[in-house]
Structure 1
Amino acid sequence: MLNFVTTNPGKVREATAYLDDEVRQFDFDYPEVQADDLGTVAAEGARAAYRAAEGPVIVDDAGLFIDAFDGFPGPYSSYVEDTVGVERVWRMTEPEGDRAAAFKTVIAYCDGEDFAATPDPVDRAERRGQDLAADDRGAATTDEQVREGDASGETLPVKLFEGRVPGEIVSPRGEGGFGFDPVFEHDGTTFAEMSTEEKNAVSHRGRALSKFAEWYGER
């Protein structure tokens, strides 16, 4: 059984559309590293979660990437939403003239085994050299514990799958969704104006899940 590390049951429901009944929710508060790309955050979360679950896991990380701000807020989207607010992001974007943006999701898979490097990259944490100690399964709660390293000196490989939806930043519209959905327009409709089914049909998470499901089915 595949463990989807999330506190959001809606994500699990979306995943079952691609993975049938092979996925279940695994509630684990993994240490979230601070990094400028989604892959690093998701990969480190997957390594920590694998140690806790002692079985195959997927972890996703998502963000809004605004062209006028060189991709910001990206991995810091939740923090910006909480501190700056959704409408202020729209108001900051408006004077720039460039409203292009994209929602991105990276799904990280870890099962303790090695992978071939296709179709998507394998992250062995070469940039950070981080991993969990083999005798700290389920106990890692701080960045320091994540950086202790595997007792073998090796880093668990993680397979990464990215999904992307292009769009643009607009004035808030719609009552549904969450986060930046009201200010993100795709094909003339904001995510907040879409039903759950409509959003899932084009979602960045769904596109990442589709890539992962194809690879996982073959594996």
Structure 2
Amino acid sequence: MALIHELVFASTNKGKIKEMVALLKGTGIKLLSLSDIGFTGTIEETGTTFEENARIKARAVCAFSGLPAFSDDSGLCIDALDGAPGVYSSRFLGEDTPYEIKNRMVIEKLAGVASEKRTARYECAVCCVFPQGGELVTHGVCKGVIGYGQRGNNGFGYDPIFYVGEKSLAEFTDDEKNAISHRGQAVRAFVKRLQEYVKE
């Protein structure tokens, strides 16, 4: 991996950045933020899949910086809501709406839904774009259920209502969450692919 020293992460989400720093620890790669490269623009996520949106963001930041750039796009897919909010997870009820309100609304939408039908999954797609034109794409999925209330103070987004076993993701430690999460799976697969890419 010596040929790639820096990667730009195309996100302003502080929770995601914290997770990415932890997941890339020990790879020898320095993670650059959008502020590190002076990117202040807005990237419209017009894709209909997580992979399309990740690719849109990574391509835009790679073109701006001239550096390898990667992005993830992820969201919560609830079976009883036909996969919603899906790719619109961050935009559900508006991007500026606090997740405490979004989580409360999801629980309200599932009022009366039996526990065995509250199945859901977090999905993540990671796309890395290189200045010379190559791309790498990986995916991850974390399965769980939507609880009846919000629990836990760790994590972010929909973590307080997404339960794996007896705990919400917001009750897991950072290391525990990264070990099972959709993003953890996708990033570990990405690092492995990146090592192979560099060798090639």
TM-score by length of 1: 0.73
The amino acid that maps onto 2:190 is F
3-state SS of the aligned residue for 1:58?
strand
Letter in 2 for 1:203: S
Q: Deviations over 1:101-143 (max 9, x none)?
A: 011111111004455xxxxxxxxxxxxxxxxxxxxxxxxxxxx
SS in 2 for 1:107: strand
Q: Answer yes or no: is 1:76 the counterpart of 2:88.
A: yes
Helix, strand or coil at the partner of 2:90? helix
Count of residue pairs brought into register by the alignment: 176
| 1:6 is the counterpart of 2:1 | no
Identity %: 29
Tell me, which stretches of 5 or more residues in structure 2 are unaligned? 1-5
Question: Contact 1:42–1:59 at 8 Å: present in 2 too?
Answer: yes
Q: Give 1:58 deviation, angstroms.
A: 0.6
Structure 1 segments (4+ residues) deviating >3 Å: 112-115
Q: Does 1:163 align with 2:140?
A: yes
Equivalent in the alignment of 2:189: 211
State the distance in 1 between where 2:191 and 2:44 align: 25
Q: Is the 8 A contact 2:71 2:127 kept in 1?
A: yes
CA drift at 1:14: 2.4
Q: Where do 5+ consecutive residues of structure 1 fail to align? A: 116-157
Shift of 1:53: 1.4
SS in 1 for 2:193: helix
Q: Please report the RMSD computed on the Cα atoms of aligned residues, expressed in angstroms.
A: 1.9
Alignment partner of 1:20 out of 27, 31, 34: 27
Contact 1:36/1:74 (<8 A) preserved: no
Question: Aligned residue for 1:92?
Answer: 109
For residue 169 of structure 2, what is the aligned residue in structure 1? 191
Letter in 2 for 1:57: A
Tell me if the contact between 1:4 and 1:23 (Cα under 8 Å) persists in the aligned partners.
Answer: no
Matched, 1:55 2:63: no
Distance in 1 (alpha carbons) for counterparts of 2:154 and 2:102:
17
Quote how far apart the aligned CAs of 1:50 are: 0.7
Q: Equivalents in 1 of 2:32, 2:20: separation in Å?
A: 6
The one-letter code matched in structure 2 to 1:188 is: E
Displacement of 1:75 in angstroms is 1.3
How far has the Cα of 1:6 moved from its partner? 2.5
Q: Do 1:62 and 1:105's aligned partners in 2 also have CA atoms closer than 8 Å?
A: yes
Q: Are the counterparts in 1 of residues 162 and 168 from structure 2 also a CA contact under 8 Å?
A: yes
